[in-house]
Structure 1
């Protein structure tokens, strides 16, 4: 089955990007107006996040989100045949800010949310960053698709660590100078181990593992967001979050990230993955000692 998926998607990928975007426009019309993929979840999230916006404003965000989501899938397929030159032209970044810390001998963590297009950013980062690049990923249940996505995500040398067995997969690299990429904005599991913060005016749990790892290893922390310059062209913007995490706390570092994500999502709302249930966990009295405002 893997080879069927690979052959089909590779044939699609060799089409020029302008042709792929015509296909994407057709899929948008089908997905938004006919199928209505997760429309209820998307608008529920938008109503929670932006109660001050009009229905027309939220509808515009939803439509542009759909377009970005479909572009994300089309652009990910393009990775099967796109050259490195193509990727480096279409995904820029202030890579030098992160590379400047290579000489310190310390490792780096990059924390980012689910914003488009993280697949292109992963490949571009593997080509531009001067570290052993470790990327945490969530395995896909379909084994053929999982194999295909692992091939795409490792094409630039990214070493993939399964989110299910991260500690085990991380062990061989713990004594090397590495860069660990973490897409971990919400919904920790189990939720009882999360830290709760005021996020879009609602008590929301965040996973503490990224902060815990950074503090334990005194790993330099950057936050990142991917900006869409225009269709098919992006820029990763890194922001130094903590140079000496050992002197911080899990609460403060996680709070910084929660506030950062809210700030950039408010600025670029259509770039975040609204089709996930962002507030699926309700705050309970038993979590009171883990709420930090």
Structure 2
């Protein structure tokens, strides 16, 4: 099946961007108005995050989200054939903080959120950084599309590792200088297993793994925020959270710093976030402990 699907998707990727964005417009309309893909979840999330906005304002953000969502899918298909020159023309990033840390011999944990388009960020940073670039990713359940996504994400030398493999693979990489990228806004598998932190003024469970990993390795931690400059063009901003995670004073402090940076990035462009996932699916209970921040 892979050898049928891949050539078809590759041929689609050869279409010029204006044609691909025409296809995206059609799919965005279907997702928003016909299929209504997770629309209740999208609107509920926006109501929690932006209670001060009117219903009409939130619906407008939702419509823009569906456009960004569709664009992200179409752009990912384009990555099957896009040249490095073309990719670099459409992306920019700040590297001063990262380059300084690398020149000091530090390994870096790059924390990001599910902003669009994270696939562009993966290609840009994996092509530009001069150390092994490791991405923790969730495999796609469909084996054919998982193989295609793996091919896309490793085009410019990224090293992919699944959460299940994280503890047992790549010791040869992690024992030397490297950059590890984590989308740290995934919800924990169970509410008890996370840090409970206020996110958009609501107690929300955050993964503890990114913080614990950085502290254990004494890694520098950098937040990477995504900005959509215009359609098909992105800027990625690197913000230092700490030069040595082991020096943070208390449990959850680093995760709170990440929360602050992510919340600001989302607030700057509310539609540019994956509102269709259940970020607020757990309700805080007293037995989970104190809300950290």
Q: Tell me which interval the TM-score lies in, with the shorter structure as reference length.
A: over 0.9
TM-score, structure 1 length as denominator?
0.97
List gaps (5 residues or longer) in structure 2.
none
Rounded to whole Å, the distance in 1 between the matches of 2:106 and 2:267 is 32
Q: Structure 2 length as normaliser, TM-score? A: 0.97
Cα pair 1:162 1:169 within 8 Å, conserved: no
* CA apart distance, 1:193: 1.5
Distance 1:270 1:199 in 2: 17
How many Å separate the matches in 2 of 1:34 and 1:175? Answer: 50
RMSD: 1.1
- The equivalent of 1:252 in structure 2 is 253
Normalized per residue, which structure has more helix?
A: 1
> Which runs of structure 2 are paired with 1:188-267 in the superposition (5 Å)?
188-248=188-248, 249-267=250-268
Q: Following TM superposition, by how much is the alpha carbon of 1:245 offset from its aligned partner in structure 2, in angstroms?
A: 1.3
Query: What residue is the counterpart of 1:127 in the other structure?
Result: 127
Give the equivalent residue in structure 2 for 1:70.
70
Aligned twin of 2:109: 109
1:256 Cα deviation (Å)?
A: 0.8
**Equivalent residues of 1:200, 1:262 under 8 A apart:** yes
Check the 8 A contact 2:226/2:265 in 1, yes or no.
no
Q: Secondary structure at the match of 1:68?
A: helix
Matches of 1:155 and 1:190, distance apart in 2? 34
**Contact kept? 2:101, 2:243, Cα under 8 Å:** no
Please state how far the C-alpha of 1:3 moved relative to its aligned partner.
Answer: 1.6
Compare 113-122 and 242-251 and name the one that shifted more. 242-251
Partner of 2:280: 279
Task: Report the counterpart of residue 32 of structure 1 in structure 2.
Answer: 32
Closer, same or farther in 2 for the Cα pair 1:228/1:112, shift >3 Å?
same
**Which is further off, 43-52 or 95-104?**
95-104
4+ residue runs of structure 1 moved beyond 3 angstroms?
none
In the TM superposition, what whole-angstrom CA distance separates every residue of 1:112-138 from its partner, at most 9, and x where no partner exists? 100000101101111111211000000
In the alignment, the residues of structure 2 paired with residue 269 and residue 164 of structure 1 have an alpha-carbon distance, to the nearest angstrom, of: 32
